[in-house]
Amino acid sequence: MADHFFSEDPASADVRRTVQARIWDRDYEFITASGVFSRDRLDLGTSILLREVRPSGSLRTILDLGAGYGPIACALAVELPEADVWAVDVNNRALELTGLNAAAAGVAERVHAVQPDDVPDDVVFDELWSNPAIHIGKPELHKMLLRWFGRLKPGGVAWMVVGKNLGGDSLQRWLTEQGYPCERVASSKGFRILKATATNRGGSPS
């Protein structure tokens, strides 16, 4: 099987480097590596999401779904000093990098970099942030989103960035049909920024 950034244990050599990014008026340097998503820079979709959306100061528990090496999780924890951020990914190398980057940002105690099944069952989220792994295929994508959207608190919000040519508009419609009213809040360079809200019509975790 080919090695992908969504492989649990990438077979590629663990070659590391650093990348710089400016997020919400702060400068960051992140450690990245081969075998993780967008190892050479903060990817364009995530950059647009972080440019268009800024977290509020009232959030307490946040999910970064598909965290990669942790730029979203680290920035959320820095921006919200009282928040706990669960950085979920299937890629163990990415999780290790997230831990290193959280430590470098001074937020290691509030960024929990874990495999999906290692999130305690009683943890629910005020917000979900994601640049979802569209390439895992629509059935797996839908299953993953329903699982985690089902753990949003009532009225909780999911922020996502999805390429228009990767099904951003159809995903918006599908989420609304599942009971998570979804709107497009911005569009830039071929990417859609989607905001979905949890209601009591939403599905339960699977």
CATH of the domain at 145: 3.40.50.150
- Asked whether residue 205 is assigned to any structural domain, the reply reads no
Q: What is the pTM of this model?
A: 0.89
Residue 161 contacts by C-beta under 8 Å, 6 or more apart in sequence?
45, 46, 48, 49, 130, 131, 191, 192, 193, 194
- Asked whether residue 187 is assigned to any structural domain, the reply reads yes
Residue 45 CA to residue 76 CA, distance in Å, equals 17
Please give the residue range of the domain that contains residue 56: 42-197
pLDDT tens-place string over residues 62-119: 999 999 999 999 999 999 999 999 999 999 999 999 999 999 999 999 999 999 999 9
- Asked whether residue 83 is assigned to any structural domain, the reply reads yes
Q: Are 35 and 3 in contact (CB under 8 A)?
A: yes
- Asked whether residue 7 is assigned to any structural domain, the reply reads no
Band (8; pLDDT cuts 50, 70, 90): low
- Asked whether residue 2 is assigned to any structural domain, the reply reads no
**Number of domains into which the chain is organized:** 1
- Asked whether residue 22 is assigned to any structural domain, the reply reads no
